[in-house]
C-alpha cells in the first residue's frame, strides 16, 4: 500500500483528552489532519481542542464528549462526526481503562466494564465508521492494544483479556480489509507516562494496601513520554505497519513471549524486580 497521507485527511480519535490520545491529537494536527476528538472527559477535551484550534486555525477540530460504555449510541456518534466532517480517512481506537486485582477479587460487573470500553467499544466504533473508511481512498484503521495484549501478568485478567481481544480482532480485520485498500495497524504500547495507573479502578475485594502497592508498581514502569509514543505510532501509520511496538519494554516482552510462550512469567519476575 502507498504511505498514509495525513494532510487534508479526517481523523477520528478516542481517548483524546489526555495521555497518548492528547499527544496523538497534537501530532495529527501538526501533520495537517482535521480531527474529531472523542472522550468522556469533556473539560479535558475542550482544553485540548482550544489549544489545537489556536495553533492550527485552518483545521476543523470538533469535540464529541461521549461515554464509550454506551455502545448502543455509537452509530449516532458516528453520524454526528460525519455530519461535521463529511468523511473519515483515519480511525484511531485509543481509549482504554484499567482494573487491578486478581480474577477472584473482581466482580463480573467490573470485568464487563473493562471489556465494554476496551473491546466492545472498539468493535462498535469500527462497525460504525467502516462504511466511511471504505468510501475514502487509502483509509487507515488503528486499534491500540497494549503490552498486556502480548503477555498476561497476574492481577490483570480483565485488562489483558480486553487487550488480547483487541489484538485478535485487529489481526482478522487486517486480513479482511487490507485487500480492499484499508490499512490496519495494531499498536502495543509499553510503559508510557500517562494517568492510567492513577485512574485505574480496583476490584471490590482488593484491600487498600494492595491498591497502593499495585499503583506504585505500575507507576514505576511508566517511563516513555506520550509525545514520543505518539510519534512512533504515527510513523507506523504512515508506513502502514501491521504491528507497532511502542517502547523498549514492549519490544523485549514481545520477544520473551515469542521465545518462552509458556514460561515467560518466570523470566519476567527478576526483570520486574530490577525495574526493567
Q: What is the pLDDT of residues 71-117, one digit of tens each?
A: 999 999 999 999 999 999 999 999 999 998 899 999 999 999 999 99
The pTM (predicted TM-score) of the whole model is 0.90
Question: What domains sit in the chain, N to C, each tagged with a CATH number?
Answer: 10-273 (3.40.50.720)
Query: Helix, strand or coil for residue 16?
Result: coil
Residue 15 vs residue 224, higher pLDDT: 15
Query: Helix, strand or coil for residue 82?
Result: helix
Return d(Cα 208, Cα 246) in angstroms, integer.
Answer: 31
Return d(Cα 53, Cα 49) in angstroms, integer.
Answer: 6
Return d(Cα 194, Cα 250) in angstroms, integer.
Answer: 16
Kindly state the average pLDDT of the residues 120-132. Answer: 98
Sequence-distant (6+) residues with CB within 8 A of 178 are 1, 184
The yes-or-no answer on residue 4 being catalytic is no
Return d(Cα 49, Cα 57) in angstroms, integer.
Answer: 11
* Neighbour-count burial for 59-89, b at 16+ CB within 10 Å, e otherwise: bebbbbbbebeebeebeebbeebbeebeebb
Which of 148, 159, 188, 264 is catalytic? The answer is 159
Amino acid at each position: 500500500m502507498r504511505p498514509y497521507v495525513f494532510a487534508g485527511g479526517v481523523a477520528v480519535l478516542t481517548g483524546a483528552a489526555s495521555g497518548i490520545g492528547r499527544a496523538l491529537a497534537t501530532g495529527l494536527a501538526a501533520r495537517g489532519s482535521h480531527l474529531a476528538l472523542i472522550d468522556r472527559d469533556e473539560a479535558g477535551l475542550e482544553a485540548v481542542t482550544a489549544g489545537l484550534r489556536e495553533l492550527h486555525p485552518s483545521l476543523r477540530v470538533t469535540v464529541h464528549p461521549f461515554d464509550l460504555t454506551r455502545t448502543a449510541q455509537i452509530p449516532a456518534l458516528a453520524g454526528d462526526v460525519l455530519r461535521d466532517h463529511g468523511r473519515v480517512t483515519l480511525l484511531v481506537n485509543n481509549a482504554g481503562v484499567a482494573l487491578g486485582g486478581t480474577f477472584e477479587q473482581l466482580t463480573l460487573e467490573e470485568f464487563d466494564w473493562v471489556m465494554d470500553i476496551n473491546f466492545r467499544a472498539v468493535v462498535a466504533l469500527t462497525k460504525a465508521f467502516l462504511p466511511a473508511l471504505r468510501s475514502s481512498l487509502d483509509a487507515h484503521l488503528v486499534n491500540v492494544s497494549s503490552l498486556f495484549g502480548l503477555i498476561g501478568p497476574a492481577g490483570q485478567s480483565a485488562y489483558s483479556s480486553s487487550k488480547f481481544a483487541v489484538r485478535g480482532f485487529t489481526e482478522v480485520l487486517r486480513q479482511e480489509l487490507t485487500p480492499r485498500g484499508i490499512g490496519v495497524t495494531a499498536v502495543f504500547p509499553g510503559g508510557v507516562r500517562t494517568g492510567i495507573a492513577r485512574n485505574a479502578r480496583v476490584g471490590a475485594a482488593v484491600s487498600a494496601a494492595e491498591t497502593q502497592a499495585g499503583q506504585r508498581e505500575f507507576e514505576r514502569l511508566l517511563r516513555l513520554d506520550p509525545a514520543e509514543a505518539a510519534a512512533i505510532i504515527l510513523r507506523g501509520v504512515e508506513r502502514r505497519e501491521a504491528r507497532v511496538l511502542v517502547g523498549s519494554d514492549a519490544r523485549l516482552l514481545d520477544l520473551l513471549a515469542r521465545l518462552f510462550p509458556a514460561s515467560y512469567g518466570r523470566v519476567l519476575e527478576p526483570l520486574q524486580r530490577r525495574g526493567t
